[in-house]
Amino acid sequence: MEKIKCFGFDMDYTLAVYKSPEYESLGFELTVERLVSIGYPQELLSFVYDPTFPTRGLVYDTMYGNLLKVDAYGNILVCCHGFNFLRGPEIRERYPNKFIQRDDTERFYILNTLFNLPETYLFACLGDFFSNCDRYTSCESGFKNGDLFMSYQSMFQDVRDAVDWVHFKGTLKQKTVENLEKYVVRDGKLSLLLSRMNEVAKVFLATNSDYKYTEKIMTYLFDFPHGPKPGTSHRPWQSYFDLILVDARKPLFFGEGTVLRQVDTITGRLKIGTYTGPLQHGIVYSGGSSDIVCDLLGAKGKDIVYIGDHIFGDILKSKKRQGWRTFLVIPELAQELHVWTDKSSGGLSPSSCCVCSQWVWGRQKDNACCRSGS
């Protein structure tokens, strides 16, 4: 660690930890409302988010509408349709070799972020609903209602569009900032952590969120009467960072990136033109790329540790394209260990045990495969 010159942070689910299941429940409800508004059955409004079901890293098969748990090589460990966990012979009917091509991104969608948890559960809810509702007839690749046919591929795209709409055009961010205490964890030790890091290295923030949302969230996280330690003066959140980047558009950020612009922190608007000057402390930038970060901070790839929650967008791309050192935040790991302990001691209901054991068994087998193949 003594060789590290820069520490980089994502914001969402890294510096800003969203309270679970409150935040996921909000995203789930808003996504369901969006689907109903574009024509999906009103019965969907009765769906209630169950945080014990979804786990990060599952794969959705857009051809058959199944949720899959696969290992590092594409071998299927667990398969469910709706809330029905399929057994070996049933799995082989759809996947004869119990194997998928994970790089077939047109068919298989990896739900690899914590933001994906609500839609993971929604895929299961929709599969269960359309399989059991008398108005619909299940088919291999979708369902029918009279002369109308809906493929799982179309349903998947509707859900993805609804999720994007909720995040970028809907009220998710508005409802979050209206009730920050309900949805965001605030830890007084955060300022101490960043100030200590800043004593030995440069610290930067690179988030996909826009400036106005970032400003609200970060102001709340540092809203304490004191500074890094009790008795020290309060400092604005910007003072803890040498470089602040919003609208990063990761993983594009780790490749060609976008134009680097300066944010007017009074109006929240972008100033016209490309920023070409030196690094200035306290200025907020929009866009850019990892190459620009290295240039502004005077660092090379291996001088940087980037800390984030997105397996693909934060960790893999930054490591493979830039050689950045990486640190993956896995907040759900503590809950998974707690669930497994409760299951082992008989603290969960039989139905919950079934769901948990299916997913956890898949993860254990996945880890075993990774170890044996390393």
Among 12, 71, 242, 303, the active-site one is: 12
Please confirm, yes or no, whether 366 is among the known catalytic residues: no
Question: Six-digit token pair at 304?
Answer: 């940087």
Residue 12 known to bind ligand: yes
Instruction: Give the list of residues 6+ apart from residue 20 with CB closer than 8 angstroms, or none.
Output: 51, 331, 332, 335
Contact 49, 25 (CB under 8 A): yes
Q: Which helix (H) or strand (E) holds 99?
A: none
Residue 309 known to bind ligand: yes
- Pairing type for strands 304-308 and 325-328 reads parallel
Among 10, 242, 247, 303, the active-site one is: 10
Please confirm, yes or no, whether 10 is among the known catalytic residues: yes
Question: Six-digit token pair at 174?
Answer: 């508005």
DSSP class of residue 108 equals E
Q: Buried b vs exposed e over 217-249: b needs ≥16 C-beta within 10 Å?
A: bbeebbeeeebbeeeeeebebbbbbbbbbbbbb
Cα gap 311→148, rounded to integer Å = 38
CA distances from 66 to 23, 160, 352 (A): 25, 16, 20
> Residue 57, Cβ neighbours under 10 Å: how many?
17
For residues 36, 38, 41, 47, the Cα torsion angle rounded to the nearest 10 degrees is -30
Give the residue ranges of the annotated binding site for GMP: 12
Give the residue ranges of the annotated binding site: 10, 12, 309
> Which residues are marked as active site?
10, 12
Give the residue ranges of the annotated binding site for Mg(2+): 10, 309
